[in-house]
Amino acid sequence: MTVAADFADEAEPFRISQLIYDKRYRSYTIQVVTMMLFMLAVAWLVNNVIENFEALGKTFSIDFLWQPASYDINQKLIEYSSRSPHWKAAVVGILNTLVLAFLGCIFATIVGVAVGVARLSKNWLVSRLMTIYIEGFRNVPVLLWILLVSSAFSALLPAPRQAAPLLGGGFVPTNRGFYFPAPVFESGSGILAIIFVASIIGAWFFGRWADARQKATGEILPVFWIRLGILLVPTFLMYFLLGMPVGLDIPELKGFNYQGGLFVRNSFMALWLALSLYTGAFIAENVRAGIQAISHGQTEASSSLGLPPSRTMNLVVLPQALRIIIPPLISQYLNLTKNSSLAIAVGYMDVTGTLGGITLNQTGREMECLLLLMAFYLTVSLLISGVMNVYNNSVALKER
């Protein structure tokens, strides 16, 4: 009778009420209704925008990107002038944003890892100083730190004529900006670049081989020094054999300012330092939490085997802590990239200052500029998340 009843249930005709009361169809019903409501909301918003545009006598268009920008940008990585089109001004702003975000993420990671480990130090003074740094930066808005660092550079650094060159004259900090030696590429520099890239690949392959050998035999090689030798020795040998094809343009004081070298404005340095230190405080807490999540038994076991504390941290604790550290680390990279939009506060022309600032005000195309700006930040955020998720999967624990 039970089997017959089951067949009878399966043969039961479909009824509309099943879309609500039958758990087999209810989830699909909810999803379809939600999608319909979402599409109606989007259609209402789009229709509202079109009607408002028509009332103002405007149309949706990005033709303004090919019109002359008619404004200068003080910090640029590519050739640009006020006669360049708006799209090129946007590209200059995009490059400025990407450089700031890239260098900021690198320095913030270095600071965060160092401070996070130091906060767990048994030295009372070191631990408390790191705590003060973390709590100070985490509990003050990043905009205030940006303004403070920018003001400190302007007030504390000397004028160019009174500035004392450092590091053999190659580095000159002034209240107008920072001067660095600039590389000068001559004949043969391309070959040197190829050798350097090949050395990086060779050092990476050696690290993989040494890691596999250690797992197979237990023998630990001085990987760091060998990789450093692979990276530097061939490059330096070819540098001298090719007749030193890469030189340095040292900044020199001429008149009231320095000439030559690489000039970086105070606005960039203030942003880079403030964003890095601010984000580094959050990364430090992620690192501390990841390390403390590892059982003390792991540390005690490595100590009983005779491993020094530095090797215990590098070989036992950090590899296991990475699976805890990396997911929140992705969020911090995204926060730093998005916080770079505060650059306009100190006069650094990033993409928010160009496309979302001057271009928007000049053309009156607020909707188009904001949508393009949002698309840029969305694309960059998705790329950062994708790359870091790939790395996160590579360090995740592999089950047997």
Q: Mark whether 146 and 174 lie in a shared domain.
A: yes
Mean pLDDT of the chain: 85
The answer as to whether 368 is a domain residue is yes
pLDDT at 239: 85
95: pLDDT confidence band, cut at 50, 70 and 90? Answer: very high
**H helix or E strand, kind and range, residue 254:** strand 252-254
Judge whether 363 lies within some domain.
Answer: yes
- Determine the average pLDDT of the residues in 375-388: 91
CA-to-CA distance for 65 and 45, rounded, in angstroms?
25
349 Rama class: left (phi>0) / alpha (psi -120 to 50) / beta: beta
Which range of residues forms the domain containing residue 191? 182-249
CATH of the domain at 118: 1.10.3720.10
Three-class SS state of 87: helix
Residues 341 and 360 in one domain: yes
If asked whether residues 270 and 218 sit together in one domain, one would say no
Count the neighbouring beta carbons within 10 Å of the beta carbon of residue 21: 9
Cα 41 from Cα 77, distance rounded (Å):
42
Mean pLDDT of 75-80: 87
Return d(Cα 380, Cα 378) in angstroms, integer.
6
How far is Cα 389 from Cα 7, in angstroms, rounded to an integer? 48
Examine the domain organization and report whether 298 and 349 are in the same domain.
yes
Q: Predicted confidence band at 125 (pLDDT cuts at 50, 70, 90)?
A: very high
Residue 208 and residue 333 in one domain: no
In a domain, 64, yes or no: no
Average pLDDT over residues 128-133: 93
* 241 and 283 within one domain: no
Indicate if 159 and 224 belong to the same structural domain: no
Whether the Cβ atoms of residue 182 and residue 198 lie closer than 8 Å to each other: no
Residue 7: pLDDT over 50 = no
Task: Please tell me whether residues 279 and 369 are part of one structural domain.
Answer: yes
Looking at the fold, whether 52 and 99 belong to one and the same domain comes out as: no
Same domain membership, residue 384 and residue 311:
yes
What pLDDT score does 398 carry?
A: 62
Does a structural domain hold residue 191? yes
| DSSP alpha helix (H) spans, the chain | 2-10, 18-21, 23-56, 86-119, 124-138, 142-156, 189-217, 223-241, 266-292, 296-304, 309-312, 318-339, 351-353, 359-363, 366-395
Same domain, 140 and 273: yes
316 and 298 Cβ atoms separated by less than 8 Å: yes
**180 closest CA partner among 160, 193, 165:** 165
The answer to whether the beta carbons of residues 276 and 264 sit under 8 Å apart is: no
The total of structural domains in the chain comes to 3
Mark which of 200, 223, 249 sits at the end of a domain. Answer: 249
54-68 as b/e, with b when 16 or more CB fall inside 10 Å? Answer: eeeeeeeeeebbeee
Q: Is the pLDDT of residue 9 over 70?
A: no
Average pLDDT, stretch 304-312?
78
pLDDT in tens, 186-208: 888 888 889 989 999 998 898 88
Is 233 part of a structural domain of the chain? yes
Give buried/exposed letters for 111-126 (b at 16+ CB in 10 A, else e).
Answer: bbbebbbbbeeeeeee
Indicate if 174 and 187 belong to the same structural domain: no
